Amino acid sequence: MKIAVQTLASGIFGVAFFAALLFWPAGTLNYWQAWVFIAVFIVCTLVPSAYLAVKDPAALQRRMKAGPTAETRSVQKLVMTGTILAVIAVLVISALDHRFGWSSVPTPIVIVGNILVAVGLVVAQLVVIQNSYAAATITVEED
């Protein structure tokens, strides 16, 4: 039950994180592309996580230990920090683009982009479902 609460809290944090980084710089909630992205994120991460919470809570627990603080090597901490900062930059710049109209992205491209995001997220989740030893960080485990 504890892992289910952690999963839900992590999902809520993820949604709030993306919402803040997309809607605040955009200056509006009238940003359908951001709503679609957040919906894709929710469905493609929380559904497999809920499955893991029931079928393999240990794998889900390993998957949730992620980010710079979960790493043991300084180089990996730096890489993870850089990755997070890059994601933040992409989200904020896309929101600013929406706000100021710097570019026009055709709807079919937005849809294809979200499909690619969904595929990437689902594949990453399927790796954890198929390999219960998969984790967000590399560790050496007994047995």
Structural domain spans, the chain? 2-130
**Average pLDDT of span 8-27:** 91
- Predicted confidence at residue 49, as pLDDT, reads 83
- Predicted confidence at residue 108, as pLDDT, reads 96
Residue 3's pLDDT band (boundaries 50, 70, 90)? confident
- For 74-120, list the strands marked E by DSSP: none
Could you give the count of Cα atoms lying within 13 Å of 15 in the half-sphere of its Cβ?
15
- Predicted confidence at residue 134, as pLDDT, reads 63
**pTM greater than the 0.85 cutoff:** no
- Predicted confidence at residue 68, as pLDDT, reads 72
The C-alpha atoms of residue 76 and residue 55 are separated, in whole angstroms, by 30
pLDDT higher than 70, residue 106: yes
Residue 28's pLDDT band (boundaries 50, 70, 90)? very high
Maximum average pLDDT range among 49-53, 62-66, 90-94 = 90-94
